[in-house]
Amino acid sequence: MRVQHRHIIYVQGYDPRGLAQYYRMFRTELRKFGRLYQLSATISRPEVAPDGETASWTIETKAGDWQTRTAYDFLRWEDLIQRDLAAPVWGTVFHAIWIYWRLVFSGTIARFWKAHWRFATFITYPHLMLLAEALCVAGLSFGFAKGLQALGVPELFGLAAAAALFVAVLGTVLKYTENLTYLLYLLSDTIWTWEFSHRERPEWDERIDRFAQYLVDVAQSSDAEEIVIVGHSSGSFLGAEILARALKFDPNLGRHGRRVVLLTIGGNFPIVGFHAASQDFRDHLRLLAVEPSIDWIDCQSRKDVMNFYPFDPVAGHGIDVGPLRRNPTIVPVRFREIIKPEHYNLFRWKFFRVHFQFVMANELPHAYDFFMIVCGPIPLSERMARPEAALAIATGDDAAREWAWKRLETATVNRVDAPDLGELEPSARRRG
C-alpha cells in the first residue's frame, strides 16, 4: 500500500514551549528535509481548535512518482506545564527534594539505575547541581556571618542575617541561571511525573480522556489510509495512555479501515511505570501489547540519555502476555548515521539537542527519518520492516525504486527479545 493521505497526532512531552515554537521548528526542519531529498514540501498555517487544546496544519509533499497529504494535529499541554513552572521557586525545590528521597527509599531510583544508568544519572543531575549551588552559597553566607561577628554584631542576629542571605542568593541563582542549568524545569518534571503516576493530576487525566475521544472520532471519520499517534519523550507514555483509553472507548478503533499505529520515540516509560501506584498504566501497556488491530513501534537511541536504552516497554515492566504478544516492535536508532561527521562530535554532547533529533530533519538520508515517517508514501510498519527498501525509494533511481516497492509488498513484522537490543544498536536497519 502506498500512503497518499496520512493523519499524524503528535503528543509532545513535558515541554513548556508549546505550539508557536514547535510549529516554527517543524517548518524549519521541513525545509531541511525537502533540501536533503530534493522534493517539494509545503505547509499550511496552524489552525487552533475552539477549545485551544489542539492545533492542526497540513503538509503537501511531492517527489518523483509519489505524492502525499498529511494532516498534522498537535496536542497541547503547555498551559498546564507553564502553570507548573510558574510555581514559587522554593516550593518547587522542597517538593522535588521530598519526592526524590521518596523515590530513593521506595527503591524506584535503584530500579532506574538497573534499567538505564544514564537516565538515572540524568534525573539525579538537578539534585547534584542544587547541592553544589547550595554549598557555594552556604560558604558565602558563612563568611558573611563571620564578618558580622567580627564587627561585634550579636551572634543570633548574624545567623539570622546569614540565613536570609542564603535564601535570597540561592533563590536568585536558581532563577537567573535557569537558562543554563534547566534545574527548575527538571525539578518540576520530577514533581509532575510523580503526581501523574499517583493520579494526583486530574486535569491531565481529563485532557487525556478528551484526546482519546478525539482519536476515536478521527479513526471513525478520517479518509486517511494511516493514522499515526507520535509520542516523543514524556509524550511516549502520554501517547500510550491516549491510545489505550481510546481502545476502551472504541474496541474497534483499529478496525475502521484506517491503519492505526503508535510511534513512541525517545521514550521514558519507566518514570511512570516503575511506580507501584501505576498499575492502571501497566494494564494499559498490557492491552497495547496484545491488541491485534494496532501496531506499536518504539524507537530508542543509546546516545540519548533522556530515553531508556535498551528497554522493552512491556517485559521491562514485568508484563508477560506469552504468545499473545505482538507489540511493540523495538527499533534502535544510531544518530551517528543521520548526522554529518563534521557535526557529530559537537552534537553528541548537547543532550537536549540529541533528544530532539528524533523529531528533527536528518542531515544524511537514512531509514529512520521523522519527516519521511510524517510525509513519505510508505506505511510506518512497512518502513520499519524493510528499511533498506524505504531508503531506496527516497534516494534510489527508477530501477531501485521499483525493486523497493516490490520488496515492501512482502514486508512482515519480525521481533526479537529485548536482551538482543545490544546487538542491534549499530543500525536502525535491523529491528527489535
Q: Could you tell me if residue 49 is inside a domain? A: yes
Residue-range definition of the domain harbouring residue 104: 89-194
Q: Given 194, 218, 252, which residue is the final one in a domain? A: 194
C-alpha to C-alpha distance for 304 and 351, rounded to whole angstroms: 7
In the predicted structure, residue 111 carries a pLDDT above the cut 80 = yes
C-alpha to C-alpha distance for 70 and 31, rounded to whole angstroms: 15
The proportion of the chain whose per-residue pLDDT surpasses 90, expressed as a percent, equals 81
Q: Could you tell me if residue 429 is inside a domain? A: no
Same domain (yes/no): 128, 75:
no
Contact of 7 with 71, CB cutoff 8 Å: yes
Q: Could you tell me if residue 143 is inside a domain? A: yes
What is the overall mean pLDDT for the chain? 91
Contact of 361 with 371, CB cutoff 8 Å: yes
pLDDT of residue 411: 59
Same domain (yes/no): 394, 349:
yes
The more confident residue out of 422 and 169 is 169
Give me 118's grid cell: 544514564
Question: Is the whole-model pTM more than 0.75?
Answer: yes
Give me 376's grid cell: 513519505
Confidence of residue 1 (pLDDT cuts 50, 70, 90): confident
Same domain (yes/no): 275, 350:
yes
Spatial CA neighbour of 118 closest among 291, 265, 273, 311: 311
Same domain (yes/no): 328, 206:
yes
Tens digit of each residue's pLDDT (9 = 90 or more) over 330-360: 999 999 999 999 999 889 888 899 999 999 9
Tens digit of each residue's pLDDT (9 = 90 or more) over 393-427: 999 888 998 899 888 887 544 433 333 333 333 33
Same domain (yes/no): 325, 415:
yes
Q: Could you tell me if residue 173 is inside a domain? A: yes
Q: Could you tell me if residue 432 is inside a domain? A: no
Spatial CA neighbour of 259 closest among 287, 296, 289: 296
Same domain (yes/no): 251, 305:
yes
C-alpha to C-alpha distance for 173 and 322, rounded to whole angstroms: 53
Q: Could you tell me if residue 84 is inside a domain? A: no
Highest mean pLDDT: which range of 83-92, 152-161, 421-430? 83-92
Same domain (yes/no): 171, 216:
no
Q: How many domains does the chain have?
A: 2
Same domain (yes/no): 186, 206:
no
Give me 401's grid cell: 525504486
| CATH number of domain containing 264 | 3.40.50
Q: Given 138, 163, 194, which residue is the final one in a domain? A: 194
Same domain (yes/no): 145, 252:
no
C-alpha to C-alpha distance for 318 and 309, rounded to whole angstroms: 17
Same domain (yes/no): 69, 164:
no
Tens digit of each residue's pLDDT (9 = 90 or more) over 205-253: 999 999 999 999 999 999 999 999 999 999 999 999 999 999 999 999 9
Contact of 306 with 351, CB cutoff 8 Å: yes
Same domain (yes/no): 303, 187:
no
Same domain (yes/no): 222, 349:
yes
Q: Given 166, 194, 222, which residue is the final one in a domain? A: 194
Q: Could you tell me if residue 175 is inside a domain? A: yes
Q: Could you tell me if residue 230 is inside a domain? A: yes
Q: What is the 3-state secondary structure (H, E, C) of the chain?
A: CCCCEEEEEEECCCCCCHHHHHHHHHHHHHHHHHHHHCCEEEECCCEECCCCCEEEEEEEEEECCEEEEEEEEEECCHHHHHHHHCCCHHHHHHHHHHHHHHHHHHCHHHHHHHHCHHHHHHHHHHHHHHHHHHHHHHHHHHHHHHHHHHCCCCHHHHHHHHHHHHHHHHHHHHHHCHHHHCHHHHHHHHHHHHHHHCCCCHHHHHHHHHHHHHHHHHHHHCCCCEEEEEEECCHHHHHHHHHHHHHHHCCCHHHCCCEEEEEEECCCCHHHHCCCCCHHHHHHHHHHHHCCCEEEEEEECCCCCCCCCCCCCCHHHCCCCHHHCCCCEEEECCHHHCCCHHHHHHHCCCHHHHHHHHHCCCCCCCCCCHHHHHHCCCCHHHHHHCHHHHHHHHHCCHHHHHHHHHHHHCCCCCCCCHHHHHHHCCCCCCCC
The proportion of the chain whose per-residue pLDDT surpasses 70, expressed as a percent, equals 95
pLDDT of residue 423: 37
